[in-house]
Structure 1
Amino acid sequence: MGSPKSDKELDEWLEQLASSTHSPQGKFSAEESYGMLQHRLEPAHRKRNILSIRYVSAVAAGLVLLIGFGWMLHSYRHPARMLLATTGAETQRIQLPDGSEVILNRYSQLSYPETFGKERMVRLNGEAYFEVSKNPEKPFRVETNGVTVSVLGTHFNVNAYSTDSLIETTLLQGSVAVSGNHDGKQLILKPNETAVYRKATSVLTVQPETDAGDEISWCKGILSFDNATMGEIARELSHHFNVTIHIEGEHLRQYKLNARFKQGETLEEILDMLAPIGGFTYKARQTNVIELKQEN
């Protein structure tokens, strides 16, 4: 007798089975026997379904773990490619992978990954103005040769040329934490405040600003100085024109004045305007080196 292939055939098969036995046929009628058989088959079928679901779930979980581990291993062996932005005599606007925007000042360098991971880290040599996209889950950090600036989302300026004796971080909007890489000391800035880090002493201090907007006037090609010393002015002019300016005499170095120079003015034109005010003369001592000397 062949195996039944349908409900009707199963019913006929049970009838034949019942008629061939010596047991009372009423108890093993096709209808009742089919129900009994189905009742016995269902638990096993359910068990197989449950086992199948558990098996599939275990396999899926294993695949997720395997993919996650594979991604971690890939990220470890193949870190994000680093990009380097370098400027010459012009400023440059850069959009970072997270949408944050940076204006890189003249003769500056910014390195950053092609894609950000758990945190957003960039490294700066020179000066840059940052407008950081807010993301509480991924802090944004600017590393320099001296301090690290940590933010969530804000507007700030960092002046960190490697040849300078100090690093300045000025906050325009939001909040930033500036910490010295030497001792980890941390300062929290408020808008219109500047953190000054002196490399020689590794000391980090805060000073107020009348208008922090003046600190980023360079973004528009304007050099603005408010009650600045000749030493500070000379430092900014050195970066702006990629020259070295030496000042002879501490009195001239500490002399303060207000000045504003528009885009396109040459270094010679600027020094010609400053010389009679500051009472000094200047001359090129060698290529890209200028000396300021107070008049007798």
Structure 2
Amino acid sequence: MKITILSGRSGSGKTTALQALEDHGYYCVDNLPLGLLPTLVTQLEAEEHPLNRVAVGIDARNLPRQLLAFTTTLDELRASQVDTEIIFLEAEPASLLKRFSATRRRHPLSGDNRTLADAIEYEAQLLADIRMRADLVIDTSSLDVHSLRNMIRQRVARRDVSLSLLIQSFGYKNGLPYDSDLVFDVRALPNPHWHNDLRPFTGRDEKVAEFLRGHPESGALLDDIFNYLTRWLPVYAANDRSYVTVAIGCTGGRHRSVYITEQLAQRLRDDGIPLHVRHRELDG
């Protein structure tokens, strides 16, 4: 039996993610008091027909004292040979403020003496230990419900390889993705944005690809990133890493980073490495 602990900030999409796991055969329990997690595991293991996959939602609705004991509880479970993984959903504070304002829902930690912004910050502090121990962090700031469901399905529910790899492009002007494990900056390459005939296109289009291929530094940078990943991804996998997210960034996230991401993904696939691709500024 494998226990997937699903946590994250209120408004980041935890309910959607838990429902996606349930749709793919997980036995799901939401808002479980952390102190009852060992008891739940014991009871489920004692079933005549043990469940293969269990997802447990643990978030800031828990008592603060129990959240502070998360590291101890997790270590005890793993010491008892319980197979566990932690999925943490993150989002920028501005996105969370916008979501709560749009839905008019009350944040579970807000109240007469705590504003919504203060509640979001306090929650981040309460969940810091869980986030630090997370096997996979997903930044949902720019994800809609359908995109989040799809990501949970691809990277968690249907994961059939030891290491789930995501290569994503992004624009530095919109901030660094919260879920990045490795970040490569490709802003040193010539920028198609400054060419009027190329500006409307993206790194997926042949016109932009042809422009960047015409500059030797594009190939050299691509080679270096590819060589780094093929050298070190097996080391991550050998050290029981289940998820790695690689972010490729340029200024706007539409041309250079998209081109390098597409070329890198193709080369890794040709080398037999399964992966997922996302373009944050294009896919939304």
Task: Give the TM-score range, shorter chain.
Answer: under 0.3
Q: Which has the higher strand share?
A: 1
- The TM-score normalised by the length of structure 2 is 0.21
Give the structure, 1 or 2, with the largest relative contact order (CA under 8 Å, sep 6 or more).
Answer: 2
Compute the TM-score of the two structures, normalised by the length of structure 1: 0.21
Rg: which structure is higher?
Answer: 1
